[in-house]
Each structure stands twice: as structure tokens, then as C-alpha cells.
């Protein structure tokens, strides 16, 4: 993202007066993306928690792919780009579900719950996030937007075609979460203690 910011400044100085407005908007959006990227770490430090590396890695990957590549570099013009982001975001949501599991469930109860059940919970949590996102898009479309791609050249699609974007998004959410959870199943089976690497953990005095 910092490299993208440098390129945006270069674009600003290289562009004529007509292109400077677009370059400024690009710079603002990249700076906003950088702030959003560092925000979880800042909050975690304030609360004296450690952000799970897997969760943050997926978060940064998704942020870069959606904001910089998708929006700023117009990668959304590729039909597969949005679906690929759903695959990534579903894995991100699995990690988030595991992190929240540590917050909501006491260590004593955690020790009594099987790893398979925890993975199943994280899988369901990811699917729920995908459904909530589609509800968000549906709500936005009620105010004249076209997030669910139900309009084609200003005209509503009919029948099955009107459902394709939403359902393929959900299928990608399902596939991404399933594949990542299968990976986690074998990972936790081989090393049960690795589950805790997905948790929000309080920093020790030595980490501060």
C-alpha cells in the first residue's frame, strides 16, 4: 500500500490539471486504506491484546485486493475478481470466528470442546458473515444501488439470472470456508495446540 501511495503521488505530479483531481482522490483512498489496515493493531495494542497473525494476514490481503486492486485499479472489471475476494474473505471470517471463540468461551470450557466442533462452529460463523453481507448488499440495492448485479443496462434481470450474483457469492463463501476448515482440521489434528495461535491473547508483561 505504501508503494501504491508513492505511485499515486507520482501520478499526481505527472498528470495535467484535469487529472489532478482523480489523483488526489486516489491518494486519499490509499491513505484511508493504510489507516484501516493499521487500525486493528492499534486497537489491540490499546486493549493489550495480540492480533492473531493468520487473521491479520487475511485482513491485509483482502484489504489490498479489494480496495487497491479492486476499486482503485479497477480489477472488479474482471468477472472472477469479486468471486476470488469471497474465497479470501470466507477464510478471513473463519479466522475471526476462531479468535472470537477464545473471547467468548472460557479456557476451562475450551479444553472440553473438541477441535472438530470448533472448526464446524468457525465454518458456520463464516457462512453467517457471508449471508449478512448479502443482506447488506440487498439493503443497499433497495436505495438504487446495484451491488447484487440485478440490473443490466438499467433493466432488472429476470428469473434465475437475477439470482446468479448472490448465489455464486454464497457458493464461493461456502467453498472458501470449507477448504480452509478442511486444512484446519488436519492442522489441529496434527498439532492440537496450534488452535491457540488463532486466538486473541492478552499480552504478557514481557511483550509490552
Residue 122 lies in a domain: yes
User: What confidence tens digit (pLDDT) does each residue in 138-186 have?
Assistant: 998 888 888 888 888 888 898 888 899 999 999 999 999 999 999 999 9
Does 39 lie in the same domain as 70? no
Does 11 lie in the same domain as 105? no
Does 57 lie in the same domain as 44? no
Cβ neighbours, 10 Å, residue 9 = 14
Supply the pLDDT for residue 179: 97
- Sequence-ordered alpha helix ranges (H) in the chain: 2-14, 17-46, 53-63, 79-104, 107-110, 115-141, 164-190
Cβ contact 48:208 at 8 Å = yes
Supply the pLDDT for residue 204: 61
The number of residues in the chain equals 208
Does 137 lie in the same domain as 82? yes
Supply the pLDDT for residue 192: 87
Report if pTM > 0.85: no
Query: And the C-alpha cell for 37?
Result: 489496515
Domain that holds residue 100: 52-198
How many domains in the chain? 2
Rounded CA separation 131/173 (Å): 9
The parts of the chain modelled with pLDDT lower than 50 are 208
Supply the pLDDT for residue 1: 59
Residue 207 lies in a domain: no
Domain boundary (28, 51, 74) is at 51
Supply the pLDDT for residue 50: 81
Amino acid at each position: 500500500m505504501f508503494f501504491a501511495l508513492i505511485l499515486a503521488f507520482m501520478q499526481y505530479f505527472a498528470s495535467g490539471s484535469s487529472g489532478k483531481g482523480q489523483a488526489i482522490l486516489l491518494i486519499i483512498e490509499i491513505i484511508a486504506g493504510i489507516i484501516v489496515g493499521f487500525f486493528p493493531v492499534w486497537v489491540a495494542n490499546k486493549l493489550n491484546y495480540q492480533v492473531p497473525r493468520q487473521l491479520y494476514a487475511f485482513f491485509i490481503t483482502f484489504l489490498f485486493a479489494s480496495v487497491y486492486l479492486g476499486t482503485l485499479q479497477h480489477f472488479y472489471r474482471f468477472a472472477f475478481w469479486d468471486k476470488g475476494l469471497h474465497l479470501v474473505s470466507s477464510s478471513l471470517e473463519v479466522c475471526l470466528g476462531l479468535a472470537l471463540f477464545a473471547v467468548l468461551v472460557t479456557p476451562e470450557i475450551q479444553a472440553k470442546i473438541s477441535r472438530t466442533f470448533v472448526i464446524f462452529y468457525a465454518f458456520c460463523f463464516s457462512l453467517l458473515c457471508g449471508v449478512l453481507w448479502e443482506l447488506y448488499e440487498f439493503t443497499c440495492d433497495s436505495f438504487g444501488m446495484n451491488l447484487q448485479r440485478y440490473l443490466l443496462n438499467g433493466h432488472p434481470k429476470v428469473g434465475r439470472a437475477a439470482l446468479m450474483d448472490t448465489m455464486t457469492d454464497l457458493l464461493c463463501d461456502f467453498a472458501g470456508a470449507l477448504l480452509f476448515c478442511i486444512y484446519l482440521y488436519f492442522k489441529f489434528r496434527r498439532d492440537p495446540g496450534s488452535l491457540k495461535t488463532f486466538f486473541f491473547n492478552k499480552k504478557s508483561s514481557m511483550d509490552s
